[in-house]
Amino acid sequence: MRRKVIFVLCSLCAVLGFFTVLSVNKVLNSEWELPSAVSSDQERQRIVLITQELDTPFWKLVGQGAANQAEREDVGFELWGSYGKNQEDFLKQVEIALHSKVDGVIVQGNDTDEFQQLARIKAASYGIPIITVANDVPVEKSLRKTYVGSDHYAAGELLVKQLVDDMGKSGEIVLLGDAELEYSERLRLDGMQDNLEQYAGIRSTYIESGSSDEEAADAAQQALNEHPNVDAFILLDIRQARVIMQEISSRTELEPFYLYSFDDGSEASALLTEGKLDAIIEQSPEEMGEKSVEMMMKWLRNEVVPLDSAGYVTDIRIVEGKGELP
Amino acid sequence: MNTIQKKIWMLAGIVIVMMFAIWLALTFYNQKMQDQYNDILQRYLQMNEVTASSQQTVTNLNDYLSNPTARSANTLASSQQRLQDAQSSLLELRNADNEFSLTNYSNMIESFTETVERSTVFSEQGENDTALSEFTEANRMSVYISEMTLSIFNSELRTYERFYRDIIRQSQELNTMGILLLSLTSVLLLLFTYLFSLSITKPVHQLTKAANELAKGRFDQPIRVNSNDEISFLAKTFDHMRVNINKLILEIQQKAQVESELQESQLLLQQSQMRHLQSQINPHFLFNTLNTLSKKAYLDGAEDTSDLLVSVAGLLRYNLKRLDHTVTLEEEAHVLTQYMDIQKARFSDRLTFHIDLDQSALLYQMPSLTLQPLIENAVIHGIEPKEDDGEIWFRIKDETQYIRIEIEDNGQGMDGNKIEQLLKGGITPQEGHATGIGFSNVAKRLQLFYGSDNVVEIESMPQCGTKIILKLPKVMEVESYV
């Protein structure tokens, strides 16, 4: 009896002891996951990438590339910006970045007075270097250190070459561009128009397509009304592509037209695979991100002084759609 | 020694230590959690302080610009100081997640402070327009600061959500641990209590059993208790008592034996006295007659007969008087010679008696009527059956340790069996003895008197005579025995 009682108590003790030790272990080992503290003496440099089009895949890729490069360089990096080309919000972000005395600002160039004001005066007064990316603002207006992105003039040329290859050396084309052309869009337009001058058989017309969807639709109607024999459309702003194509297809078949655009929007790849677009100029957003951060770091570390103010060009290439050509 | 008190103290100590440890652990964790909560709250309060002080600075700047007095300058300076204090404490709040935004935040406050200072400087220089534009700028920055505070709040909430979940999980685990610990402690306590009670009751039980044994009269079983406390002390004492009682009982038994021996010797004495009485048929008449006969014989010129009669009378007198007294060896030897005179008269040439006495030994005491029966035996068994040449030797020697008395005859002797029987008293005396006292009676009386078993020895072989040896311790001046 006595032995039985002692045995039962001992085994109970052993079992409970085992579980208690497990539990105690768990309690002792479960650390509260607090973010690790940072010592105040070693401040990392901070770089901000600010864009107006946070919502587009293009800018997401730019941000991703920049973030990767920042991680490699061990600098603090954040992607700021506004959605849907919200100018006011964008400028506010830039201002905040400058007031926050970040070490470098990489910004999507914005060809407005307010932006130039900020870049020229405020950034200079705080001594913060600015690098434009993807969209440039001329150096004399913005005092930017350099530009990283595609050569838009070359992109225009490349597209014209593709057009001539597809359509031949004669035909009628319509160029559609939104109300306020960005510096980069203007460069593309220049590139195309300069090139088209070589081909006497090609008649080109530039139609302003406004900034809203309704205006774009109207512009498409206008183009079809005024130029019934039009063979090709070139859209400077890919964000308007879907609306315009819808408008065209509501009037007639979409197939006979050549449709070209420049990829800096969200719909390019979808439209390409649907076969509605015949070709687009594809840029290298990730490369832009990486390169911009790299250049900024080189500047901050005084490795390359001064930076090439003409800019660092990233790769562009033509991508053809899958749709059957007429 | 482990006393029961010590055991109780130990048990209580273990309980207290366990409780204390558990309490300590729980308090420690509680404190840790509280500290963490406090830290987090402190962060929010500090950030809020930044917003509040920046807004106050803007208000004070506005007051100062519209009414630049020393007093408004003072309030502005104090609110700026407050903002700077808040800013300096911000650096401690940085961590991996919010390093970027907090640095921005801090720099923003710096820019704000600079702008405010610029504004006041311009105002002092009278450039009111510039001061006003700087004020507008400062105002805008103040708005940015509040917005930034909110966004940092947001990200902090996101960061600490994980932490809150951890804390909740931790507290749940703590609960489980508490329950387990409680049950473990309870079971351990049960075990300890059981062992402890066992360590007390078991020895008590053993002791009870031993006491029962004692009560039944078994004093020979040792009391064993497996314990090392007071009970074991009790058990040892108890055992000691048992041993003592055992010893006492033995002593009583020995005493009883001695008493029974004493009674036996008295019995023997009475027996010899009885025999003695039987043998004295009107001894005084006989005694007087013998004396008359002795005188008559002397007067008639028969001197030998007269001597003989004197010897017989002396022997008779000795026999009558001295049975319960000690006598000296000399007296005993004298009686013995008188007896031998009589026997010599009886056997004439057939008996030769040799006597050899050590004078120094004759002073010692011995029981009376011991030697005469022995020599009587020698005569009856050694001389009577023989035709002639019967010889008897009687020697007393002082051997320093003891007195050696030898009575030797050259009769037919006896074998070992008979010697043994004789020594054990298995042979009753035959007729023809003068006193009726046999060998065994003598031997027994000597043993009792000297309190020793090996007083009497017999050396004998069939046809080679018998030698009786007495080894008597030297005893002086004992009036009487029994």
Q: Which of B92, B94, B170 sits opposite A27 (nearest CB)?
A: B170
- Give CA separation, A38 vs A41, A42, B40, B288, in Å: 9, 8, 16, 149
Backbone angles phi, psi at B307, to 5 degrees: -55, -45
Cβ pair B111:A100 closer than 8 A = yes
Q: What sign does the CA torsion over B407, B413, B417, B418 have?
A: negative
A252: Cα within 13 Å, side-chain hemisphere: 11
Q: Does the beta carbon of A33 lie under 8 angstroms from any beta carbon of chain B?
A: yes
Cβ pair B107:A40 closer than 8 A = no
Q: What is the separation of C-alpha B363 from the centre of its chain, rounded to a whole number of angstroms?
A: 56
d(CA B276, CA B272): 6
Q: Which of B96, B99, B174 sits opposite A27 (nearest CB)?
A: B174
Tell me which amino acid residue B334 is: H
Tell me which residues of chain B have a pLDDT lower than 50: 479-482
CB-based contacts of B79, cutoff 8 Å, min separation 6: B53, B56, B57, B60
Instruction: Give how far B260 is from chain A: nearest CA, Å.
Output: 55
Cβ pair B144:A96 closer than 8 A = yes
Q: Which of A17, A23, A78 sits opposite B173 (nearest CB)?
A: A23
Q: Which residue of B has its CA nearest to A6?
A: B191
Instruction: Give how far A277 is from chain B: nearest CA, Å.
Output: 41
Cβ pair A99:B173 closer than 8 A = no
* Per-position DSSP letters for B139-206, written without gaps between them: HHHHHHHHHHHHHHHHHHHHHHHHHHHHHHHHHHHHHHHHHHHHHHHHHHHHHHHHHHHHHHHHHHHH
Q: What sign does the CA torsion over A152, A153, A158, A164 have?
A: positive
Cβ pair B94:A9 closer than 8 A = no
Q: Is B54 left (phi over 0), alpha (psi -120 to 50) or beta?
A: alpha
**Is A324's pLDDT higher than 50?**
no
CB atoms under 10 Å from CB of A27, counted, come to 17
Backbone angles phi, psi at B31, to 5 degrees: -60, -45
- What share of residues in chain A are helix, strand, coil (percent, to 5)? 50, 20, 35
Q: What is the CATH topology of the domain spanning B4-202?
A: Four Helix Bundle (Hemerythrin (Met), subunit A) (1.20.120)
* Secondary structure (3-state) at B68: coil
d(CA A295, CA A310): 13
Kindly give the pairing relationship between strand B365-367 and strand B326-328.
antiparallel
Cβ pair B95:A26 closer than 8 A = no
The pair of three-digit structure tokens given for residue A157, joined into one six-digit string = 């040329």
Type and span of the H or E element at B120? helix B99-124
Instruction: Kindly list the domain boundaries of chain B, sorted by start residue.
Output: 4-202, 219-279, 322-473
Q: Hey, which of A209-218, A244-253, B259-268, B458-467 has the most confident mean pLDDT?
A: B259-268
Backbone angles phi, psi at A273, to 5 degrees: -70, -30
CB-based contacts of B23, cutoff 8 Å, min separation 6: none
B389: Cα within 13 Å, side-chain hemisphere: 4
Cβ pair A33:B166 closer than 8 A = yes
* Per-position DSSP letters for A11-80, written without gaps between them: HHHHHHHHHHHHHHHHHHH----PPPB--TTSPPPEEEEEES-TTSHHHHHHHHHHHHHHHHHT-EEEEE
Rg of chain B on CA atoms, in Å: 65
The pair of three-digit structure tokens given for residue B398, joined into one six-digit string = 């002082």
Instruction: Give how far A264 is from chain B: nearest CA, Å.
Output: 29
Cβ pair A38:B141 closer than 8 A = no
Say which residue the tokens 């387990």 belong to: B180
Kindly give the pairing relationship between strand A279-282 and strand B326-328.
unpaired
d(CA B85, CA B25): 37
Question: B180, B197, B200, B202: best mutation site toward chain A, by most A Cβ within 10 Å?
Answer: B180
Cβ pair A36:B104 closer than 8 A = no
Q: Hey, which of A168-172, A255-259, B280-284, B403-407 has the most confident mean pLDDT?
A: B403-407
Q: Work out the pLDDT band at A42, boundaries 50, 70, 90.
A: low
The pair of three-digit structure tokens given for residue B402, joined into one six-digit string = 């003891």
Q: Does the beta carbon of A25 lie under 8 angstroms from any beta carbon of chain B?
A: no
Backbone angles phi, psi at B38, to 5 degrees: -60, -45
Kindly give the pairing relationship between strand A130-133 and strand A104-107.
parallel
Q: Which of A26, A32, A38 sits opposite B99 (nearest CB)?
A: A38
Cβ pair A100:B170 closer than 8 A = no
Q: Which residue of B has its CA nearest to A76?
A: B100
Q: Does the beta carbon of B97 lie under 8 angstroms from any beta carbon of chain A?
A: yes
Tell me which amino acid residue B380 is: I
Q: Which residues of A touch B166 (CB under 8 A)?
A: 30, 32-33
The pair of three-digit structure tokens given for residue B394, joined into one six-digit string = 């009687």
Instruction: Give how far A96 is from chain B: nearest CA, Å.
Output: 7
Q: Does the beta carbon of A2 lie under 8 angstroms from any beta carbon of chain B?
A: yes
Write the CATH number of the domain with boundaries A46-150+285-315.
3.40.50.2300
Q: Which of A32, A34, A76 sits opposite B100 (nearest CB)?
A: A76
Say which residue the tokens 């195309």 belong to: A192
Question: A24, A25, A27: best mutation site toward chain B, by most B Cβ within 10 Å?
Answer: A27
Cβ pair B107:A100 closer than 8 A = yes
Instruction: Give how far A11 is from chain B: nearest CA, Å.
Output: 10
Instruction: Give how far A95 is from chain B: nearest CA, Å.
Output: 9
Cβ pair B163:A102 closer than 8 A = no
Within the 151-190 window of chain B, which residues sit less than 8 Å (CB to CB) from chain A? 159, 162-163, 166-167, 169-170, 173-174, 176-177, 180-181, 183-184, 187-188, 190
Q: Work out the pLDDT band at A25, boundaries 50, 70, 90.
A: confident
Cβ pair B112:A99 closer than 8 A = yes
In DSSP terms, A106 is beta-bridged to A49, A131
Backbone angles phi, psi at B75, to 5 degrees: -60, -40
Q: Which residue of A has its CA nearest to B99?
A: A38
d(CA B273, CA B322): 11
Instruction: Give how far A32 is from chain B: nearest CA, Å.
Output: 6
Q: Does the beta carbon of A21 lie under 8 angstroms from any beta carbon of chain B?
A: no
For residue B482, the model assigns a pLDDT of 43
Q: Which residues of B touch A9 (CB under 8 A)?
A: 187, 190-191, 194
For residue B371, the model assigns a pLDDT of 85
pLDDT in tens, A48-70: 999 988 888 888 889 999 999 99
Say which residue the tokens 């039987």 belong to: B278
pLDDT in tens, A62-95: 999 999 999 998 888 899 988 887 888 999 999 9
d(CA A45, CA A52): 23
The pair of three-digit structure tokens given for residue A313, joined into one six-digit string = 């060009």
Write the CATH number of the domain with boundaries A152-282.
3.40.50.2300
Within the 78-137 window of chain A, which residues sit less than 8 Å (CB to CB) from chain B? 78, 92, 95-97, 99-102, 126
For residue A326, the model assigns a pLDDT of 38
Cis-peptide into A138, omega within 30 deg: no
- Give CA separation, A296 vs A100, A285, B102, in Å: 17, 17, 22
Q: Which residue of A has its CA nearest to B177?
A: A23
Mean pLDDT confidence for A19-43: 73
Cβ pair B191:A46 closer than 8 A = no
Instruction: Give how far A308 is from chain B: nearest CA, Å.
Output: 29
d(CA B362, CA B370): 15
Instruction: Kindly list the domain boundaries of chain A, sorted by start residue.
Output: 46-150+285-315, 152-282
- Given a contact cutoff of 8 angstroms between Cβ atoms, the answer to whether A293 and A63 are in contact is no
- Given a contact cutoff of 8 angstroms between Cβ atoms, the answer to whether B315 and B433 are in contact is no
Question: B29, B160, B191, B205: best mutation site toward chain A, by most A Cβ within 10 Å?
Answer: B191
Kindly give the pairing relationship between strand A279-282 and strand A232-235.
unpaired
Residue that wins the pLDDT comparison between B315 and A151: A151
Q: Which residue of B has its CA nearest to A77?
A: B100
Q: Work out the pLDDT band at A325, boundaries 50, 70, 90.
A: very low
Highest CATH level, class, for B322-473 = alpha beta
